[in-house]
Amino acid sequence: MKLVSKRIGLGLVIFLAFGLAISAIIRYLLLDPASTNKTLIEQGMELYDFHYQPWNIVLLFHIVTASLAIVIGPFQFFKKIRIKRKNLHRNLGKIYITTILISGITGVYLSFYAFGGIISKIGFFTLSIAWLYTTYLAYRHVRNKQFKLHENWMYRSYAVTFVAITFRFWSAVIGYSFDNFQLGYTVAIWVSLIGNLVVMEFWLKRKSSKIKSSRPSIISQ
């Protein structure tokens, strides 16, 4: 039962990841981004009419690399790939880290132009730094052959990556609940980042306690 629920959960994550990546590529590379971001433009985010250089080029790099990261991430958690196809796991990891390096740095730049005011800008800046930092720690631990720490920090890294999805959910829910899109947009970035990390920490502690409880106890003579 637990295995089934785990597979369903991971399957849902993969479905949402591919859905977001495909929709982002379609919106920004195949369709007119000015029309697909009409709400932001109406709210005063004129940058989304895509007549501003180099902002729009940086945004496209950010979108493409972030899309790759969110799609690759879940496959790094398949035990069969990690154990039986180590080279694939290693190569996907290199791509994941590289895309986050690019997307995180471009995210820092884009945060200074974020919609929603100074609190929103700080939120997106914090998101990019958290993304780079958690991924760096995952990379550092695997280089030091600290594989358990590497795995845990990869989970945290992907929790930050997954903000791309939870942010869209919360910005819609909070924005329409407040009847104030700008306020909802600002609150949503903080709720998404903090919420994802809190949920991930809870899940990691629960996972760790289950592993400890499953180990046979040693009774000293």
pLDDT of residue 219: 40
pLDDT of residue 167: 94
Residue carrying structure tokens 């979108």 = 63
pLDDT of residue 215: 60
pLDDT of residue 210: 72
pLDDT of residue 68: 96
CA distance 103 to 205: 29
Give this prediction's pTM. Answer: 0.86
What are the per-10-residue average pLDDT scores of the chain (221 residues)?
Answer: 70 91 85 65 61 81 95 89 88 96 96 90 97 97 94 96 94 78 88 97 87 55 35
